[in-house]
């Protein structure tokens, strides 16, 4: 959110409703934010095959459904899996559904 608010403030004519502007430009802002985090340049997840994404999703799902906060933190402490998870939250419906349906992800502040 802070990234979006800074972007709105830097516009030649800042919008009167910055939150609405951020919502309307979310995809573009998200891409810019990822670039600042060097996540987009580090891994090109769009280039990976669907079976690979399903494998990573399956690994995440096993850890999440196990309900063990420590295991989930270890999983997401890995740079690759953390970057994939951050990318997948906006790019994959299965990951978004997993987020909504599992309290461990909602309560644990995992990004």
The confidence score (pLDDT) of residue 40 equals: 47
Residues 20 and 67 in one domain: no
Q: Is the pTM of this model over 0.85?
A: no
For residue 108, what are the CA distances in angstroms to 4, 26, 38, 55, 104? 23, 24, 24, 23, 6
Q: 38-94 pLDDT, tens per residue?
A: 554 578 888 899 999 999 999 999 998 888 888 888 988 888 898 899 889 889 999
Q: Is residue 43 part of a domain?
A: no
Residues 62 and 87 in one domain: yes
The confidence score (pLDDT) of residue 7 equals: 85
Residues 97, 13: Cα–Cα separation, whole Å: 37
Compute the chain's Rg from CA coordinates.
16
Check: CB of residue 110 under 8 Å from CB of residue 70.
no
- Nearest of 3, 66, 4, 48 to residue 87 by alpha carbon: 48
Total count of domains within the chain: 2
Domain of residue 60, residue span: 48-107
Q: Which residue has the higher pLDDT, 110 or 95?
A: 95
Q: 6-26 pLDDT, tens per residue?
A: 888 988 998 888 889 888 888
Q: Is residue 41 part of a domain?
A: no
């Amino acid at each position: 959110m802070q990234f979006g608010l800074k972007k709105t403030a830097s516009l030649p004519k800042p919008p009167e409703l910055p939150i609405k502007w951020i919502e309307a430009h979310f995809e573009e802002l998200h891409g810019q934010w990822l670039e600042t985090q060097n996540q987009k340049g580090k891994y090109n997840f769009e280039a990976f095959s669907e079976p690979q994404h399903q494998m990573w999703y399956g690994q995440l799902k096993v850890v999440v459904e196990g309900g063990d906060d420590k295991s989930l933190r270890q999983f997401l402490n890995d740079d690759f899996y953390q970057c994939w998870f951050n990318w997948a939250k906006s790019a994959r419906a299965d990951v978004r559904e997993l987020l909504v349906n599992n309290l461990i992800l909602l309560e644990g502040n995992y990004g």
